[in-house]
């Protein structure tokens, strides 16, 4: 079956696939093959724990050029350089609403939430043996997990990657545009104002960190528009300014 050239071009120019300390050549090659299947071209590997040799190329088949052009870096920060949005993957999704770090969506939901303006996005896959660490997940804007049987819910990393790639390809080939809104700068400003207001409430430090994370999760997972960000920011700014003004009135001695 033939793919859709325009879809492949759009996927290849927007998404970067990052493997964090991959451990098996066969999986690396299989992921390169799946990337070729679904029009992805940009592969980064962070400190691979295996050399990229004959086995990887054998599994890659027609995706060999993806391995040939793959970039190997020492740190995750190096792999994320120039990327605007980060999507992490995990087999261990939270079963509690209290675990904000591992609150995840599925690949179909991920694809439906991607829209056209914005920057490039990284698809982050962790180690075969242990996945991504909490520190690495903390750097992600969205967390994706693939629903599977309770008897054995952990997928092979190449299989998981193929499912994620397919869902992105499906949206792209349907003619819908990819966009990632709002802009990073506007989200950061909004999150900063929220954090400032949360600080006024004298919350314990750990509760404030959770609240900040929850608000960022809401922004990352929503289909919020620039206009909506602007309106919400306007309201929060007015609340902030009024709170500051009232605080000054309480602390300023009255003149008689």
Q: How many domains does the chain have?
A: 2
Contact present, 128 and 21 (Cβ < 8 Å):
no
Do 22 and 73 sit in the same domain of this protein? yes
Q: What pLDDT does residue 116 have?
A: 42
Where does the pLDDT of residue 247 fall: very low under 50, low under 70, confident under 90, or very high at 90 and above?
low
Beta-carbon contacts of 109 under 8 Å, excluding residues fewer than 6 positions away, are none
Whether residue 130 is contained in a domain is answered as yes
Boundary residue ending a domain (173, 197, 212): 173
Please give the torsion angle defined by the CA atoms of residues 184, 139, 88 and 165, in that order, rounded to the nearest 10 degrees.
40
Boundary residue ending a domain (173, 194, 214): 173
Whether residue 154 is contained in a domain is answered as yes
> What pTM does this model have?
0.69
Q: Which residue has the higher pLDDT, 26 or 196?
A: 26
Question: What's the CATH number where 134 sits?
Answer: 3.40.1280.10
Q: What pLDDT does residue 67 have?
A: 97
Decide: helix, strand or coil at residue 233.
helix
Please tell me the least confidently modeled range out of 1-5, 13-17, 181-185: 1-5
Where does the pLDDT of residue 223 fall: very low under 50, low under 70, confident under 90, or very high at 90 and above?
low
Q: What pLDDT does residue 56 have?
A: 97
pLDDT in tens, 125-172: 999 999 999 899 888 888 899 988 888 888 999 999 999 999 999 888
Whether residue 255 is contained in a domain is answered as no
Boundary residue ending a domain (173, 193, 222): 173
Q: What percent of the chain has pLDDT over 70?
A: 79
Q: Which residues pair with 142 in a beta bridge?
A: 87
Whether residue 254 is contained in a domain is answered as no
Do 90 and 128 sit in the same domain of this protein? yes
Q: What pLDDT does residue 114 have?
A: 65
Do 70 and 163 sit in the same domain of this protein? yes
The closest alpha carbon to 39, from 79, 3, 84, belongs to 3
Helix (H) or strand (E) segment spanning residue 173: helix 157-173
Whether residue 115 is contained in a domain is answered as yes
Do 13 and 74 sit in the same domain of this protein? yes
For the chain, the average pLDDT equals: 83
pLDDT in tens, 16-66: 999 999 999 999 999 999 999 999 999 999 999 999 999 999 999 999 999
Do 41 and 126 sit in the same domain of this protein? yes
Please tell me the least confidently modeled range out of 128-132, 213-217, 231-235: 213-217
Q: Which residue has the higher pLDDT, 167 or 91?
A: 167
Q: What pLDDT does residue 162 have?
A: 97
Do 121 and 202 sit in the same domain of this protein? no
Whether residue 233 is contained in a domain is answered as yes
Mean pLDDT on 84-95: 77
Do 38 and 148 sit in the same domain of this protein? yes
Do 41 and 154 sit in the same domain of this protein? yes
> Range of 64's domain?
5-173
């Amino acid at each position: 079956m033939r793919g859709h050239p325009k879809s492949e071009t759009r996927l290849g120019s927007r998404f970067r696939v990052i493997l964090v300390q991959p451990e098996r050549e066969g999986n690396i090659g299989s992921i390169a093959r799946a990337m070729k299947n679904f029009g992805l071209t940009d592969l980064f590997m962070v400190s691979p724990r295996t050399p990229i040799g004959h086995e990887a190329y054998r599994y890659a088949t027609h995706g060999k050029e993806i391995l040939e052009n793959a970039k190997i870096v020492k740190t995750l920060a190096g792999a994320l350089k120039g990327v605007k949005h980060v999507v992490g993957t995990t087999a261990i999704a939270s079963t509690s609403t209290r675990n904000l770090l591992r609150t995840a969506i599925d690949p179909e939901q991920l694809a439906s939430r991607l829209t056209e303006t914005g920057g490039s996005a990284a698809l982050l896959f962790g180690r075969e043996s242990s996945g991504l660490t909490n520190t690495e997940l903390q750097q992600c804007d969205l967390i994706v997990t693939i629903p599977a049987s309770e008897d054995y819910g952990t997928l092979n990393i190449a299989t998981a990657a193929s499912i994620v790639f397919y869902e992105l390809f499906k949206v792209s080939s349907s003619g819908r545009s990819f966009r990632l809104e709002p802009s990073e700068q506007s989200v950061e400003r909004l999150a900063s104002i929220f954090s400032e207001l949360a600080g006024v409430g004298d919350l314990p430090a750990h509760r404030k960190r959770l609240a900040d994370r929850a608000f960022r999760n809401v922004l990352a997972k929503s289909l919020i528009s620039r206009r909506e960000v602007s309106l919400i920011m306007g309201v929060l700014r007015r609340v902030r300014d009024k709170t500051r003004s009232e605080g000054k009135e309480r602390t300023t001695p009255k003149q008689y």
